[in-house]
Amino acid sequence: MNITSKSMTRKPTHAEIAHLLTTLLPPRVNDVPLLYHFPQNASYHFQTAQADQVVLSVTPTGRFYNSVGEDPDKAPRTPPQRPQARRDIQEERPLNNKEEGRIPNTVAFLHRPFELDTSRVRADLMVLASHTSFDENLTVGWNPALAEKLGVDISSGNYLCIQGHKGDPDRKIVLVASVSLLLGPLLQAIETEFGSIDHAQEGLSEEIHVLATMNAFSADEVERVLDEAENQHWVPDAVSAGRHVLYLTGQPRKSGLQAAKERGMTVVCVGHRVAEQWGITYLAAKLREAFPAIHVREIYEDELPMHYTATPESRPIYTSRNPESVDGETTPSE
């Protein structure tokens, strides 16, 4: 079943949508099942059921239930309060399939499906899910697609994967790449991809020779990145080797920030939720590319506004809303 080489003009089946997701999110033994919730319909057939729309969300929020077509008999009497709209949030009404006079056949995707209330959704809803593989491949860890957008030449092969985290030797947690970039344009590229920067700590150099995208952040991880960069001769074997390294991660951590500061390393933290939302945006783009005949909708959660102070060189150094609180939320892999 080759559905990634070119766009499909007809509406895809549930099986074809699931297949595309498995190519982007390789199965992991300890992950949630991709086929998380099947339609409760005796006539349903996974291989032949065609989808009209796909709805993607990190979690099953009120906005999610509204978009997938909530079962009117089981919806709460008082609807949940609507959060503030994200900069690119899409319309929340379920797709109205007027020409067929029916509710659209919907496939949903959730990154964290654990609180899904299946009693609230229509009987014909198919829910796909990925937690561990999504964290590994579509946040700020082992993510070649993101690295390429930030200036890494993937075709050169000058990048590697660091594996092993919390007792799982196969868990991919970082992409380390050799680059030749200036800090200012790289910060702009990161802001373009994520929409904001939650916290940043400036290093000792404007010249970046190593980019590390990491979904864990502690002193140990900082040293692992430097060890690999030194082994590849991408940085000098010296105490100040970190001066030419930019460490991109989700949530700031005091131990990681301190270790990076001691080594002269630049750190950029985009925030836990924003890192996850990048993955939702990426999946949505891939679905639109492969299946132009269906409606694809992303559901985003609230996010904090960006705050920054100008440096003497007029280049923004971004900080979180509360710079003293950098340990309040876990990164995706933690």
Domain chopping of the chain, boundaries: 14-133+277-299, 139-273+304-319
Helix (H, G, I), strand (E, B) or coil at 32: coil
Q: Is pLDDT of 72 > 60?
A: no
Q: Which residues contact 184 (CB under 8 A, 6 or more apart)?
A: 206, 315
Pick the CATH number of 14-133+277-299 from 3.40.1390, 3.40.50, 1.10.1740, 1.20.120: 3.40.1390
Q: What is the pLDDT of residue 73?
A: 52
* 5 vs 327: CA distance, rounded Å: 43
Range with the poorest average pLDDT among 2-11, 34-43, 116-125, 166-175: 2-11
* 171 vs 111: CA distance, rounded Å: 17
Please give the model's pTM, rounded to 2 decimal places.
Answer: 0.81
**Mean pLDDT confidence for 211-218:** 94
* 22 vs 133: CA distance, rounded Å: 10
Nearest alpha-carbon partner for 212 in 153, 259, 147 = 147
Nearest alpha-carbon partner for 116 in 37, 39, 32 = 37
Domains 14-133+277-299 and 139-273+304-319 share a fold: yes
12-58 residue pLDDT tens = 999 999 999 999 999 998 899 999 999 988 899 999 999 999 999 99
Per-residue tokens: 44: 């349903």
* 47 vs 39: CA distance, rounded Å: 13
Range with the poorest average pLDDT among 70-79, 100-109, 110-119: 70-79
Q: What is the pLDDT of residue 107?
A: 98
Does domain 139-273+304-319 sit in CATH 3.40.50.1950?
A: no
* Residue whose entry in the numeric block shows the structure tokens 């590229």: 189
The per-residue pLDDT of the chain, averaged, comes to 83
**Mean pLDDT confidence for 208-213:** 97
Q: Is pLDDT of 298 > 70?
A: yes
The DSSP bridge partners found for residue 56 are 109, 298
* Amino acid code (one letter) for 152: V
Report residue 293: phi and psi, to 5°: -85, -5
| Residue 102, burial from CB neighbour count under 10 angstroms (0-12, 13-18, 19+) | exposed
Range with the poorest average pLDDT among 130-139, 156-165, 231-240, 253-262: 231-240
* 290 vs 12: CA distance, rounded Å: 9
DSSP assignment, residue 33?
Answer: P
Helix (H, G, I), strand (E, B) or coil at 17: helix
**Mean pLDDT confidence for 61-85:** 62
**Mean pLDDT confidence for 64-79:** 66
* Amino acid code (one letter) for 287: L
Nearest alpha-carbon partner for 143 in 129, 156, 162 = 162
Range with the poorest average pLDDT among 17-21, 77-81, 132-136, 193-197: 77-81
* 276 vs 149: CA distance, rounded Å: 16
DSSP assignment, residue 70?
Answer: B
Range with the poorest average pLDDT among 81-85, 126-130, 251-255: 81-85
